[in-house]
Amino acid sequence: MVCGQENASVFVSGEGGYHTYRIPALIASDAGTLLAFCEGRKTSPSDAGDIDLLLKRSTDNGVTWSEQQVVYEEGGDAKITIGNPCPVAGAEGVVHLLFTRDNARVFYVASRDDGATWSTPREITAVFAGFDFPWTRVGTGPGHGLRLSSGRLLVPLWLNERTGQNYRSAVLYSDDDGVSWQAGGLLGPEVADTNECMAVELPGGAVYLNMRAQKAPFRVVAGSTDRGETWSVPVPDQGLPGPVCQASVLRVGGRVFFANPTGPGRTNLAIKMSDDGAQTWRQLEMLHEGPSAYSDLALSPDGNLLCLYEGGTNKPYEAIRISRIALRE
């Protein structure tokens, strides 16, 4: 078991048969189990190679964690990249999970026992023909997706036209609890090269999308009033500066929380809060001083805010760690 107190390591690079652990995703199931996903990179920190999709589970609010399990791998030692986990806590205890193979194909699995076992992967790449964009690479998430108040499952993603290094953010959705998936709204090109993104549903039902942009010193945001089928023009949020890096966002009641490295570069991961629908932000605290990068936020069953993130002393990818933040009115 792994101790899970504040800022404790959940996955440590070099342990458990993997060179590097990256790309964290975290959700709490309806039954109260925390599920921490990541990519296990067998032989190097590279984004491509022999990479497996891994999971650890906690049934005590993140104090202890199970041994890591392989959700999906392919080809043994073959250089097949399985990654970009995007889990969604669904209705009646079902956990939905989308992931990619070699950033070229997208698969769906589900668990009905809080992540202990998973369904046979089902390919849904054909759905991406619904996007009016000549993509050659795709990534789901990374980080958690949403179950909207309407019951719709919403999965943020990015598309990339390799020849022009052209990126666009987008979403998939399902209105039948994962049985089928549809292409949702494709973000406009008004801000160049938006990609890794995460969403929250605001009070009243509007959906807020927060995006990385490859060439912008700020996060980029957009909104939807039709549950992700169309989006407003994306604009930079100058209240959310930071390096080019993934970030995470979560709504808890009337507040929205945001976590990202504050810089310089991928260092100094901090958490911010908005109490006006993600219009303005104030920093709450520094979660990790020093090298840090990707993250995901979740609310633990006992009411604490959790941040699963990449962090280390000399490099951001030394471990995937978890931080617990007590919420107060």
Residue numbers annotated as active site? 47, 294, 310
Helix (H) / strand (E) element for 249: namely strand 248-252
3-state helix vs strand vs coil in the chain, percent to 5? 5, 55, 45
Task: Evaluate whether 159 touches 137 at the Cβ level (below 8 Å).
Answer: yes
| DSSP reduced 3-state for 176 | coil
d(CA 203, CA 189): 27
Cα of 98 vs its chain's centroid, Å:
11
d(CA 235, CA 263): 21
Query: What is the DSSP code (8-state) at residue 81?
Result: B
From the DSSP assignment, how many helices (H) and strands (E) are in the chain?
Answer: 0, 26
